[in-house]
Structure 1
């Protein structure tokens, strides 16, 4: 991995992989929904959409036609703590991808008519999530677990907040947040670092200023039970607890524990809830980590009459790992699973590009694959027990339920029975 910092603070990072048949370049901005005020909820995501709606020399159709003409991909995504605009092409078409990315990032028009059209699109996107209960229950869990904090809010915002934004709001937000000290240019695949630096300097070297800091620190978790009645065939539930930050010293043990609990078909909860009891089709655990905070949880889609039983099974498994950790063979299995997932997930240029950027954002340096593998291999069962005790402390569990409980009443007692 090679890294260069331009005089204005823009960071350029790349990994030259001549054996890959593709190349991916991304413009990352250390800005996401976490850095929005309540009245700005969803503005980062809205902006991401608008960057593809026309520049001073290209219409939205021109942008789409040019990347389609070479079989490439030009896309973007917004997270809680970053936004990425990226292009993936064959090596011969890298100049085009770089030109398109630079053009949309520095010369987008944000035309009034495009803003209104995209406003309607985003409202439909928000509605789609609300009509997808296995996604929506996660948003409801976040809102209840971290009340009042930007990390709890949906990335897309709400129909109400999205309906308020004006063109001036977008331009003001760009002026405050899209500054060179928050921008990374990352590339991976069949490319040359010096050429990427040259393009970055030409396209982004004139940007100036520094981004304003607006984050007020980590959220305070809220334990308890929240029930959202809705006429659905299934009941969807998320049961979670405070987790760890991205750079936490216990991160390898936490990820291994997550895999053992619900990270695949061989995991404890999948085997017990689905395979042995037949109480769910979908069951998995998850670990969400940010700069200074995180949470761990379990999702299950089940029937109303089985909710209490499912919660009891989950709590039982959490208690067991706190007391015992993992068996020797189980720990060895999830270590191999985690390393295999990592390596298989890095077979493409876009995944390599993302790895470079996230390492810079969360660690400020390259974290090699070899370093990660050593960290995984170094975890012992006492480390698993230690992190399990950290994560699943008494009185910290939170449960969000979405669906038709058919008269079943749930309260905090379900977390203590």
Structure 2
């Protein structure tokens, strides 16, 4: 996932008709296809149309997916003549099917997922060290990642990195307040309900439910699962993923690796 899925220039240049047909025939067959729809239509009518259009498409059996790679802590810096230094600090996170995924939603919201989050308030609003700073989740089938992005000047990079790491330690070592938990839950539930007003989002959610769970998860079940997460659940997750063995830093700009001190200890 760290590399562009399109491939290299040489690989793309080498593609021919046989390559593309082979790829299509192996993957685009009825056993591998999920078709989701939302709007003014009847399920029975759509099912008949899909059967007529795709029911006779057969292909090869794909090999099973490999295991998730082992993640280790590292620092990667690309020196580039840019106005700002762009950096990401990342670590492992629960997968899209993990029972801890709702805890990760709350952890992300509290850390840097909104304007009232800790990182946004501390680094941007209070100290003015970065215009853009936020955290985000990438949950996949077998593994997930949590990333923190910041854009700052080369003179402030070390201070920003140190403040981010300090906030990760605070989340791991100190109890969360009831106020933060309530705010994070209301934010996540509110965004979820707003997303349900879009037919596109409903369609995408249907497809993801089939891909990840092979069943439909009702909105009220999502809301109940969010409400069921405790402050201790979030803190336990922080202890699990914010470790010296998995925290990674990537940066690009007018900076070199020797300019950065990156030490996340227990």
Secondary structure of the residue that 2:252 maps to in structure 1? strand
TM-score by length of 2: 0.95
CA offsets, 1:198-230, max 9 Å, x none? 111111111124531253221121311111000
In the TM superposition, 1:167-316 aligns within 5 A as 167-213=17-63, 215-316=65-166
Contact 2:28/2:59 (<8 A) preserved: no
Gaps of 5+ in 1: 1-150
Q: Which runs of 4+ in 1 moved over 6 A?
A: none
Is it true that 1:339 corresponds to 2:189 in the alignment?
A: yes
8 Å contact kept, 1:285–1:299: yes
Partner of 2:176: 326
Aligned to 1:415: 263
Quote how far apart the aligned CAs of 1:157 are.
2.3
For residue 169 of structure 1, give the secondary structure of its aligned residue in structure 2.
Answer: helix
List alignment gaps of at least 5 residues for structure 2: none
Structure number with the bigger relative contact order (C-alpha 8 A, sep ≥ 6) is: 2
Q: Does 1:365 align with 2:219?
A: no
**CA offsets, 1:246-291, max 9 Å, x none?**
1111111111010110011111001111111111111110111111
CA RMSD of the aligned region, Å? 1.5
Q: How many residues align?
A: 265
With normalisation by structure 1, the TM-score equals 0.61
Q: Quote the Cα distance in structure 1 between the aligned partners of 2:175 and 2:245.
A: 20
Q: Secondary structure of the residue that 2:262 maps to in structure 1?
A: helix
CA shift digits 1:170-224 (9 cap, x unpaired): 0011111112111011111111111101111111111124531253221121311
Secondary structure of 1:305 counterpart: coil
1:387 equivalent in alignment to 2:237: yes
Q: Work out whether 1:153 is the aligned partner of 2:3.
A: yes
